[in-house]
Amino acid sequence: MGYKVTIEQGSLEFSVNAQENLLNAALQAKINLPHGCKSGSCGACKCKVIHGDIELEEYNKTVLSDDDITNNYILLCKASAQSDVILDIPGFTNGFPIKTMPSKIESIDKVGSVTILKLKLPANQIFEFYAGQYIDIIYEGKNRSYSIANSPTTKGIIELHIRYRQGGVFSEAAWHTLTVNQILRFKGPMGNFTLQNSNNPILMVCTGTGFAPLKAILEQMVAEKNQREVHLIWGNFTAEDFYLTDILPNWQNQLSLKVTLCTNDQAEGYYTGMVTDYIQETFNDLSQHEIYACGNPAMIENLYNIASSQLKLDKRNFYSDVFTPSI
């Protein structure tokens, strides 16, 4: 059975059936509702229901509390409609249109266990996005989400960072079978992970290829000569897992940027330990900061809990992009 979902801001409407979550239905209707992880972990898609009945799947209670539920808040990625619904999403704008487009592989570079894939866009089509957003690659009938690793100032190119995962539908292809000039289709832009308009100092915290959307944002900051104070804290298992680190000194020359690289193994020039260990040791008051966190769900949940409960971070200033591996 189908229901109608209305967003008060802009009077937007879309249809949904009782078996699909509100976020997926909106994205299918090319309405880019606020979201990040799509797995109930980050809280980016939290909003208020002002009319209608909702059923919630299992979710992370650190981002949607019992008090939130009492006050009719939901997570769009975990909510299905049981009637017509009206949503209140303050500040929502639909952003750039979601398109399905072809692209041609321009280059494939392998660095450690990461494939850096560059896609060339059709010259006769316009694709606009915000630094930090992601696309879905459509491959062998499946969609795989990857953050765009370059800023919009690099015209006509989409850069993706793909960590090799044995058995991964697209990561195996990127590592073994894709070829230059091959055509790939994608859908996007999606997501709402992007730099906020403020002057607060920033902690950019990432693990693995969570570096990709932060790279895009930092490139945008360079292009705009944005001198906000930024501390990039990037973690990997070993020093060999880092990639593209040669661009970091150039950014430091152009931005107010500090960089800390964290590894599980002892290595000269690196902090030994997890990114959350470093943050706990280094900061005691993040009340004036914004955090932009990208990486695995456990790291992001742990960071959110530490920053908001121990380090005085305003929960509204925590922005995240959760990377959930798919086979």
Which CATH number characterizes residue 265's domain?
Answer: 3.40.50.80
The more confident residue out of 186 and 62 is 186
Is residue 152 a part of any domain in this protein?
yes
Q: Judge if 219 and 318 occupy the same domain.
A: yes
* Strand ordering across the sheet containing 157-163: 142-147, 134-139, 183-190, 99-111, 114-120, 157-163
pLDDT above 80 (res 325): no
**First vs last C-alpha separation in the chain:** 31
Q: Judge if 271 and 166 occupy the same domain.
A: no
pLDDT above 80 (res 36): no
Q: Judge if 212 and 268 occupy the same domain.
A: yes
Domain of 173? 99-190
Q: Whole-angstrom Cα distance, residue 80 to residue 87?
A: 13
Q: For residue 41, what pLDDT band results from cuts at 50, 70 and 90? A: confident
* pLDDT tens-place string over residues 70-115: 999 999 999 999 999 999 987 777 788 889 999 999 999 999 999 9
Q: Judge if 308 and 230 occupy the same domain.
A: yes
Which CATH number characterizes residue 107's domain?
Answer: 2.40.30.10
* Strand ordering across the sheet containing 202-207: 271-272, 257-263, 230-236, 202-207, 290-295, 318-322
* pLDDT tens-place string over residues 211-228: 999 999 999 999 999 999
Q: Name the domain count of the chain.
A: 3
Q: Judge if 245 and 296 occupy the same domain.
A: yes
Note the pLDDT of residue 197: 92
> Maximum Cα–Cα distance for the chain, whole Å?
60
pTM: 0.86
Q: Which of 88, 118, 145 is the last residue of a domain?
A: 88
Lowest pLDDT segment from 31-40, 96-105, 170-179: 31-40
